[in-house]
Amino acid sequence: MPLYYDDDQVMLAETANQFMGEEGSIKNQLRHWRDRNCKDGFGHGLWKQFAEMGFTGMLVGEEDGGLGMGQVEANIVLEEIGRNLTPSPFLSSSVLAATALKHGSNDVRGRWLPDLISGDKVYAVAIDEGVKHRPERIACKAEKSGNGFRLTGKKDFVVYGASSEMIVVAARTSGSDGDADGVTLFAVPQDAAGMSHDSVRLVDSSMASHITFDGVELDGDAVIGEVDGGREVLNAMLMAGRIGTAAEGVGVARGAMDMTVDYIKQRKQFGKLIGEFQALQHRAAHLYSEVEIARAVTIKAAQLLDGGSEKADLMASVAKAKVAKVAGLAVREGVQMHGGIGMTDEYDIGLYMKRDRALQEFLGDQYYHANRVAELSGY
């Protein structure tokens, strides 16, 4: 497939670009909520606007009231979110949680999807149980209790966990911590007795929770998919989330690059625009080519996922690893070319570096995914 958008996708990109630029800008959203020390880290009013635009239900099937779009379309929105550093639960709710819920029963989908589509509720996902992303090991236990389950254990760095009305939790229902089988996904409501949050503000000013489950009682209807068969759903959720995170990272890289190129076209030193210096021109040209490669591999990963290709999992890790390197390059070059002011809070370029740092770790850093690429490729 060609690595560019069709006419409908171009229209979506133009709409998302205008909407995020006007409503989701750094000044209107990130700085606004950060400077007020907002406990949620994002604006619920903007989330409702996402719903009005149809963004919240993009990956939800038409039979469930959504738009029935694919990962390519979700990535278009995520790239604009990254470009504008828009604080939003779109990735956790409309990509990760929505992907999991699609595998749920009619009752599960009917209970949770309508409020996601309408923008009335925000959802989160709880996977990791340590400082690093290691979904291969799930220790949080869900033991049979009557007609349901009793959930016990901990989850770390659950993005927007304390602000979510429901959390998709990966728990172990059989086997040992490192077994591929024996994992089940649960839809845990925020008001569940025995669930507590320790909220922390991340480097990019978003909010996350360390969650403790102390004998949380869940009925059988909370199960998403099959008991002991949740690894397949978890993997599908991770693929969508990793490709989506890569798309947001591309947006961060492009936003930082555009801001930097604009700056070197205006800043004068030694009586000349610094953009006239050949050394900076070479660095800017190299950065542009790297960002385009990262964007291309991310589009390819999304296309493979939408097409049901067996190579989608491999390409998801290729995209996540490549974008992590390129976005890191973009923000470092941005700060360096801005000079000393690049380190100040008054200039937005430093905010791109902070967002990149958070995205680097979310759902696996570049080293984790480089190792996955080697393993999936048979090396």
DSSP string, 151-192: EEEEEEEEETGGG-SEEEEEEESSS-TT-SSSEEEEEEETT-
Q: Is the pLDDT of residue 258 over 80?
A: yes
What structural domains does the chain harbor?
A: 7-122 (1.10.540.10), 125-228 (2.40.110.10), 231-377 (1.20.140.10)
The pLDDT score that the predictor gives to residue 269 is 86
**230-264 and 71-84 helices, crossing angle to 10°:** 40
Q: What do you get for the CA distance between the two ends of the chain, in Å?
A: 27
Residue percentage of the chain with pLDDT more than 90: 94
The pLDDT score that the predictor gives to residue 217 is 96
Query: CA 172 to CA 195: how far, in whole Å?
Result: 17
pLDDT digits (tens, 9 = 90+) for 113-155: 999 999 999 999 999 999 999 999 999 999 999 999 999 999 9
Between 105 and 378, the more confident residue is 105
pLDDT digits (tens, 9 = 90+) for 265-320: 999 888 899 888 999 999 999 999 999 999 999 999 999 999 999 999 999 999 99
The pLDDT score that the predictor gives to residue 278 is 93
Q: Is the pLDDT of residue 3 over 90?
A: no
pLDDT digits (tens, 9 = 90+) for 184-242: 999 999 999 999 999 999 999 999 999 999 999 999 999 999 999 999 999 999 999 99
Residue 205: which of 23, 38, 363, 350 has the closest Cα?
38
The pLDDT score that the predictor gives to residue 4 is 82
Q: In degrees, to the nearest 5, what angle opens at C-alpha 14 toward C-alphas 354 and 335?
A: 25
Cβ(299)–Cβ(75) below 8 Å: yes
CA 265 to chain centre: 32
Q: Is the pLDDT of residue 167 over 90?
A: yes
